[in-house]
Copies of this chain bind each other. A is one copy, B any other.
Amino acid sequence: MHWSFDFKRIITHTDRVIAKAKAPDIIKLSWGEPAFPPSKKIREALLEAFNKGYTRYTPPAGLQELREAISDKLRRKNKIDTDPSEIIVTVGGTGALHLIFRLIAKGEVITIPNPGWFAYPSVIRVAEANLVWIDEKKYGYEALQKAREGLKRKGKELKAIVINSPSNPSGYIFSEKQLKEILDFAEDYSAYIISDEVYEDFILEGKHISIASIKKDCVFTVFSLSKTYALTGLRIGYIVAPDKQIAKELTILQLHTCVCPTSFAQYVALVCIRDRIEEEYISKWISVIKENIQYLDKKLKERGITWEKPKGGIYAWFPLPRIDSKKFAFELLEKKKVAVAVGADFGTKWDEYIRITTAVEPEIFREGIDRILQYYDEIQK
């Protein structure tokens, strides 16, 4: 078409797999959401929201009582010392990223981890910024400096650094050393850090460190209720901004983009965070994820495939040697009725990789894995 967006570059193979995988008989391992049911307490919270009159516009940064509950949670769980005036409640994690990218990086360049969430490039391009992939394990002072120099030569500025820990898709957890190096770089070269921590509650090994707990004044941290509460439809996320002034500017952008997130949904978020309802079930979910990973690991080993088990998050990310992931995903969907995310969408060297969701009932997960590997075995012959 004749618009300013290049639509071919902002729609991925995985987007198309997800759009195609609608029939109820399809095993959906392509999705970025836990397949577990949400807590029954959500039902009560919705009722309460209506009864208490949460049916109207909220302040554009979100309900004051919600931002206070978030501030308490951040202090307790993330060791981030922040004031409600530095928090903006957004339309999910994507809504948060969109606002940040538009505010700080329009026309400039953002680095993202390789592999990294398949939608980062699209969200960045819709916000009219550009991107550079950097190997997630090498993400640190030296790699960033090298990327910056390359950009300088092209007259471009490295404006922001995205980190995603635990990572989607690999489940990688950034080490404290890495986080400190990234902070040092950001400080030395006036870059911002955007820390996407939407999988903070899914830790399988080691521990999660919020980078803003180390230093906060160049960091935007993004959280979401989608994964922790199995409520991707709630569309509630939040940003912890570097300071009050930047939070205000993000708020003005949100006001003129959508006014505010849904009031009912904000009230549900308040109940979830204030009452810590995830404590009821999160360790059970993590056991299921670990069990699923064990099953997959055994099956991959049987075929001599080596992979790295995730340390966090809700995905397994592994190679199927000699496949073309773009072709494989669409054929698998058609022939075996299993939907998976396409490795090629997650960076620059993942044509033989696929990503599957591990936050699924074991019975379904196993059936999905069996079909994937059965199809893989068939095409290897």
Contacts and interface: CB of A to CB of B under 8 A. Distances in A.
Interface of A: 1, 3-5, 7, 10-11, 15, 19, 31, 33, 38, 42-43, 46-47, 49-51, 54-59, 91-92, 94-95, 98, 103-104, 106-107, 119, 122-123, 125-126, 230-235, 245-246, 249, 252-253, 255-265
B104 A3 contact: yes
Contacts of A94: 256-259
Given A3-B249, A55-B234, A233-B260, 16 more contacts: A1-B249, A4-B106, A5-B253, A38-B55, A46-B49, A46-B50, A55-B233, A56-B231, A57-B232, A91-B262, A95-B259, A126-B257, A235-B258, A235-B261, A235-B262, A262-B265
Contacts of A257: 94-95, 98, 126, 257
A215 B154 CA distance: 48
Count of chain copies: 2
A122 to B, nearest CB: 5
A258 B59 contact: no
A230 B122 CA distance: 35
For the complex of A and B, 7 pairs with smallest distance between CB atoms? A233-B263, A91-B258, A126-B256, A262-B262, A95-B258, A57-B232, A235-B262
A126 B254 CA distance: 9
A233 B262 contact: yes
A252 B94 CA distance: 13
A245 B55 contact: no
Nearest to A107: B4
A94 B104 CA distance: 22
A257 B58 CA distance: 20
B19 A42 contact: no
Contacts of A107: 4
B103 A3 contact: yes
Contacts of A31: 57
A1 B256 contact: no
B264 A46 contact: yes
A259 B126 CA distance: 12
A260 to B, nearest CB: 7
Contacts of A245: 1
A27 to B, nearest CB: 16
11 contacts: A4-B107, A5-B103, A5-B252, A47-B47, A54-B233, A56-B231, A56-B232, A94-B258, A233-B264, A235-B259, A265-B265
A264 to B, nearest CB: 6
A246 B3 CA distance: 10
Contacts of A5: 103, 249, 252-253
A327 B42 CA distance: 45
A230 B54 CA distance: 12
Contact of A55 (B42, B104, B260): B42
B259 A92 contact: yes
A33 B56 contact: yes
Contacts of A249: 1, 3, 5, 7
